[in-house]
Amino acid sequence: MTKHWSSDPYFVEALDKYTTMRENGRKTLELDLEAIEDVISNGDGPAYRLLEAMVGIQETEGYEGCRGAPRVLLATLERLSEISKKS
């Protein structure tokens, strides 16, 4: 069985940051596509982390409507924004 996303700091911390930004009125994220392309295919990069989390959501929440999927996606967007800021 796949690790549940809610026990992974990668997603939990990013979702907390995203939530704080929204609560503070932030409406946009900026993404540096070149910076993202440099890391997106890494074995432990955002694409594969997201895939693993979504598989876990399907396994554990499929009967409840996969409610974690939007949260994991928003957390991943926050991580992509962080990657963009580093470049």
C-beta contacts of 7-10 below 8 A and 24+ residues apart: 8/49, 8/53, 10/49, 10/75, 10/79
- 47: its two tokens: 């694409």
The residue ranges of every structural domain in the chain are 5-86
Place of tokens 């796949």: 2
Alpha carbon dihedral 53, 59, 64, 67, in 10-degree steps, equals: 0
Q: Between these two residues, 23 and 68, which has the higher pLDDT value?
A: 23
Q: Is the separation of the CB atoms in 3 and 55 below 8 Å?
A: no
pLDDT tens digits for range 37-68: 999 989 889 999 999 999 988 888 777 778 88
What predicted TM-score, i.e. pTM, was given to this entire model? 0.89
